[in-house]
Chain A
Amino acid sequence: MAPHPGADSFIASVSKAASARVLLALAAALLLLGLAGCGGGGSDATTASTSSDGTSASAPSQSTEKAHPSAPQGKEGAPSQDSTKQGDPQAKPAGSGEGKQGPRVSLPKGSPEPEPTPQQRAESTLASISLSSPALTPGPESISTLPATYTCDGKDTWPPLKWSGVPAGTAELALFALNLEPVDEALFFDWALAGIDPSSEGTESGQLPKGAVVGRNSFGKNGYSICPAGDRETVIFALYALPQDLGARTGFDPATLRKQILASSGNSGLLAVSYGRE
């Protein structure tokens, strides 16, 4: 069917009118946006209010003394090219201090903490290995919580652990679970493994990793147990990558082995977990 001759012209006129309206709307919107200054630099409503706050005449002019050792000298009140341009109602001479409303930086007392010396770096173990457990749940104050099943209140088997980032050339891995707080003036070991194949990437719950030799824990058994004496306990799982084989045998003393490990200054992975009886 042929189109109605009047239809084209109607649509054309509507089309023209619509195009014109759209273009007009676009132009108006752009004009409004341009006036509002939305085209760049974020919310200028914020800027305007902030600027007026920041440059309030009632803002107290404060001392410009600073004591930071790296403060450049002789630049106080140096003119700013930005703020002395003509035609800007907000521009103030740099260094006037009139716009400075916020508090001044005050330096902490004392000296900064020392950085690790090259010798300290060489002698300490660096926690560069990623150690995690899919069984843990985020707990209060961000620390991961160990579910009861991995303690003497449950099955008392170790949680699944995963690690990555073991350095090349590692001879073996050792894995400890030890209480953050010592007991009877001694480190308390819940679990100690040595001789772990360095190519391993983790362990399943209740399943020893390849090559593992089990040490005697602080409960006096060759195995794992997390059993807090009190209501809450923080345990650190520490995986150590050893540059040489330490030749540990079943029932080894974890405290002695740990000293050897720390003396060999390898890399480690650390995981802090918390268990509480609520």
Chain B
Amino acid sequence: MNQKFTSMLFRSILAALMLSAVFAASSSAAPAWKFEGKALEGKETIVGAAFESSLTIPGLTTKCENFLYKLTIENVSGTGKGSVTELPLYNCTTNSKWCTVEAIAAEKLPWAAQAKLVSTTNYIVIEGIRVSILYAGELCALGETTAIVTGSAGGRIDNTAETATFDKASFTATGTTLKALGSAIEWNGVFPTEAFEWHRTQALTVS
């Protein structure tokens, strides 16, 4: 009796475990890149340019009005992955009349990116970010100093608008932070994204 009962118990537990594993897998399944609703096969390059974007470093508030990014994407084992290969920044200024941005550069490219599902929302998470900013100005407290922005950034993906939005909420949701001068910095921007190569006229979604 005991053997049969134990066997039944084990089978029940096994079945329950299998069921929960299936549900767990479905609820945490990573999102993939899709064009016209079909999963991307192979690689594609997408480009994003902000409508309006700013990188705000507290202390010496430094803003860049525009960004571009170029991202190579692919699905690896069903998960949307990618790497940021270019990030030119435009029209960078500070809020101090004493300090100017002499030069600025995204460094240590490519930066790894991954599509991520948080709750019911899809995000793109970029890691390994490093931007160096050289300030100038004789009376600038940071003159002749290269400040470094490091960390990770998460942007909320809107499949209908085909945009990635980076803001405080998207950073919080993805647990990402960018830091400079010892403080967390803000990156706000809405980036329309589109394919640059084989799928350049197709709707890009992440799901």
Q: Interface residues, chain A, CB within 8 Å of chain B?
A: 3, 7-8, 11-12, 14-15, 18-19, 22-23, 25-26, 29-30, 33, 38-44, 46-47, 50-51, 53-55, 64, 66, 68, 70-72, 75-78, 80-83, 85, 88, 90-92, 94-97, 99-117, 120-121, 123-128, 131-133, 136, 138, 141-144, 178-182, 185-187, 234, 236-238, 262, 268, 270-274
Contact = CB atoms under 8 A, between A and B. Distances in A.
A112 B90 contact: yes
B175 interface: no
Contact of B15 (A22, A115, A143): A22
Given A19-B12, A33-B22, A124-B144, A83 B35 contact: yes
A82 B41 contact: yes
A259 to B, nearest CB: 9
Contacts of A101: 160-162, 203
Interface of B is mostly: mixed
Given A15-B5, A43-B120, A143-B59, A102 B192 contact: yes
A24 B183 CA distance: 56
Interface in B133-166: 134, 139, 141-148, 159-163
Interface of B: 1, 4-5, 7-8, 11-12, 15-16, 18-19, 22-23, 25-26, 29-32, 34-41, 47-51, 56-60, 64-68, 70, 78, 86, 88-92, 96, 98, 101-105, 117, 120, 122, 132, 134, 139, 141-148, 159-163, 181-186, 192-194, 196-205, 207
Q: Which 6 A-B pairs have the closest CB atoms?
A: A102-B162, A272-B59, A143-B58, A51-B37, A108-B66, A112-B88
Given A19-B11, A108-B68, A182-B98, A54 B203 contact: yes
Contact of A42 (B30, B89, B202): B30
A99 to B, nearest CB: 4
B38 to A, nearest CB: 5
A28 to B, nearest CB: 10
Contacts of B103: 113-117, 120
B8 A47 contact: no
Contacts, number: 319
Contacts of B35: 80, 82-83, 94, 99
A195 B30 CA distance: 53
A180 B37 contact: no
B4 to A, nearest CB: 6
Contacts of B142: 236, 238, 270
B104 A113 contact: yes
B38 A91 contact: yes
A88 B38 contact: yes
Contacts of B122: 42, 46
Nearest to B26: A38
Contact of A108 (B4, B29, B65, B96): B65
A25 B186 CA distance: 49
Nearest to B103: A116
Nearest to B184: A142
Contacts of B59: 143, 180, 234, 236, 272-274
Contacts of A107: 49, 68
A103 B139 contact: no
A112 B200 contact: no
Given A41-B207, A114-B103, A55 B198 contact: no
